[in-house]
Amino acid sequence: MFESYSITDRGNVRPVNQDYSDSFCGDRYAFGVVCDGMGGARGGNIASEFAGRWISEAVVTAVSESNDAKDIRKRFESSLLTVPSRLYFLSKRESLDGMGTTAVICLCLGNKAFIYNIGDSRCYVVKSDGITQVSIDHSVVQNMIESGELDKESGRNHPQKNIITRALGPEENAQFDCFEVDLAVSDVILLCSDGLTNMLKDEEILEIVNESGDIISTSMNLSKKAKESGGHDNISVVLIEYGKEGI
């Protein structure tokens, strides 16, 4: 079985919240999504909300039409492939060229988690003894880290850390990365916007997850700590906890 919870907060500085987060679960599956909008107040809000809602609706449709894990995943991925072009053409209709959003998604089916990401919102798997970043940022700083120009710690405060190289909206054929993770009982999946990870180091996130108890209080404590550490951006957190095989 699964438990899930999502929370989003404007933070301490931004005048509006351009993040979108959602999560829900059933006996056979769990789902979460975080989108971080960009392109001005109106553009960012539209991009993140429309993309997030389309992705959530795709999961609802997939699990309502099939009981088979492989078929659910196939149906969901088929719908997910349409999101980049739908958002691209929406931006043209609304005269909001350049609007866009990141997206990080988790679809859990039994003891498998399928992670999809575009941009720099992240997915982590948290265990009692460690935290692992699953997704890979699509950003200028990540490219510099991979080329050896920067180490990860230096990248945290680099002046170009918020420049992303891939997003939903600006391009009709934008591509998601996909990762598959085997889950063990009590594993926690964290999806978050960079409003969390710019404020908290991985080790701080691990400590909060391990000390907070249930996923509702954990989500709130992560958001609270990010705000206490500066809260310079919108903060979104989705947590999914795996209990036992469900499909």
Express each pLDDT in 170-200 by its tens digit: 999 999 999 999 999 999 999 999 999 999 9
Q: Which two tokens stand for residue 19?
A: 């993040």
- Domain parsing of the chain, residue ranges: 2-242
Element (H, E) at 196: helix 194-197
Say which CATH superfamily domain 2-242 falls into.
Answer: PPM-type phosphatase domain (3.60.40.10)
E-strand ranges in the chain read 2-9, 19-25, 29-38, 100-101, 103-109, 112-118, 122-127, 130-133, 177-182, 188-192, 235-242
**Whole-prediction pTM:** 0.95
pLDDT one-digit tens code per residue, 15-65: 999 999 999 999 889 999 999 999 766 789 999 999 999 999 999 999 999
